[in-house]
Amino acid sequence: MHLEDAQFQNEVTYLIGLKHKNIVQLVGYCAESRWEAAQLSGKYIMAEIRKRLLCFEYLNNKSLDKHLSAESCGLEWHRRYEIIKGICCGLHYLHMECRIMHLDCWMKIWCQK
């Protein structure tokens, strides 16, 4: 197993175990590899083709950046505060209970449930 394969499996294992109302659930995944002949500098070599997919539950309220930053979204500040508090609860669960550091925090990945 390649290092990237082990990292992917490790991430899937963590994601499957996450159960929190403020974290989008992983519903499935796929990891497949196959070998193909490919031409490189006039010679044929065997190349490993890897495909990986993580499938998360669908949330139809769009990404939070649309809700929290748009003045025209119609959300009251109290509701925005509640949403941000939910994000903080989800991050606290990841960091303190699961010991997972979520390093790519940007609003487009957070969804309103």
Give pLDDT tens digits for 88-108: 999 899 888 888 776 665 555
pLDDT digits (tens, 9 = 90+) for 43-57: 999 998 889 999 998
Rounded to two decimals, the pTM is: 0.65
Q: How far apart are CA 24 and CA 73, in angstroms?
A: 22
| Greatest distance between any 2 Cα atoms in the chain | 65
DSSP states of 8-20: HHHHHHHHHH---
pLDDT for res 77 = 84
pLDDT for res 105 = 59
Q: Which amino acids are annotated catalytic? A: 104
Domain boundaries, the chain: 3-109
pLDDT for res 113 = 46
